[in-house]
Amino acid sequence: MTAKIELSGVKKHFGHKVVLSGVDLAIQPGESLVIIGGSGTGKSVMLKCILGLLTPNAGTIGVDGSSVVGLSARALAAHQARFGMLFQGGALFDSLPVWRNISFALAGPAAERRAAAIDNLSRVGLGADVADLRPSELSGGMQKRVALARAIAARPEILFFDEPTTGLDPIMADVINNLIRTLVTDLKITALTITHDMASVRKIADSVAMLHEGRIVWHGSRDGIDSADNPFVDQFVHGRADGPIKMQLRKL
């Protein structure tokens, strides 16, 4: 079966700083893959390379077998239209009310777009009463849910979630995790999530990959992470300071 998304030898550097040093990864259609890894390991950069927001310095990225590197502006726009993305901070447009944020990518008369926005709000557990509020009037959890509604509004084939539970309390984080799992299952979407949150991993993932120093150091099923014979995964899953992953700290 052709992978929905396939990365092969993807490298990306910014000046002298190497962020991705040869990523190989395949995501199957309908699969929910979660990428784990410490801060600054290149998870967000990898997502942006797949989206075409950044161009890799080397390697290939394919979606449904078609390369996405070096596309013309029009082909790149068509490629990006296949994705929905939940950004880490929500990235809602401050100047627009909630309903216009959600329906931003939709065409048609305003009344239809508003109705579609309210329908998507209900999918993430919010009522029509928030449709006319500004993003600044919402709590962090509600902003995340609105951002999720916006990400699914155009019914994308592939959804990306960048740290979906960062900054949320554990209960709200679980609400978001449940929503993501339900949406991915109901809408039969291929999903790629990046997170540090092991509770999210256990709830959202079908499979898990670990990124460390710009490379995938482990890739396996969700149930396999606790028994993975990999010191990087073991240290990350158990949140230990000691292990092969070294934090760059100055000695006091």
Partner 1 sequence: MTGLATTFAHALIALGSVIIALLGSIGRLARFALTALGRLVRPPWYPAQLFEQMLVIGYFSLPVVGLTALFTGSALAQQIYIGGSRFNAAATVPAVTVIGIVRELGPVLGGLMVAGRVSSAMAAEIGTMRVTEQIDALTTLRTDPFRYLVGPRIIAAVLVMPALVLVSNALGVMGGWLLATGRLGFNSAAYLNTTAQFLKTDDVISSMVKAAVFGFFIALMGCYHGYHSSGGAAGVGRATTNAVVSAFILILLSNLIITVIVFGS
- Give the residues lining the site for partner 1 (CB under 8 A): 48, 51, 53, 77, 80-81, 83-85, 87-89, 91-94, 104-105, 150, 154
Q: How far apart are the first and last CA of the chain?
A: 54
Which CB sits closer to partner 1, 58 or 81? 81
CB of 86 to partner 1, least distance (A): 10
Count CA within 13 A, CB hemisphere, residue 135: 18
Helix count and strand count (H, E) for the chain: 8, 10
| C-alpha torsion angle, residues 160, 166, 170, 175 (rounded to 10) | -30
* Cβ-based nearer residue to partner 1, 6 or 162: 162
Using the minimum distance from each CB to partner 1, give the nearer residue, 53 or 58. Answer: 53
* CB of residue 126 to partner 1, shortest distance in Å: 19
Least spacing, CB of residue 245 vs partner 1, in Å? 26
Phi-psi region of 163 (alpha: psi -120 to 50; beta: other; left: phi over 0): left
Q: How far is the CB of 137 from partner 1 (least distance, A)?
A: 17
Q: How far is the CB of 91 from partner 1 (least distance, A)?
A: 4
Buried b (16+ CB within 10 A) or exposed e, 174-185: ebbbebbbebbe
Task: State which residue, 143 or 177, has the beta carbon closest to partner 1.
Answer: 143
Which residue, 58 or 77, has its beta carbon nearer to partner 1? 77
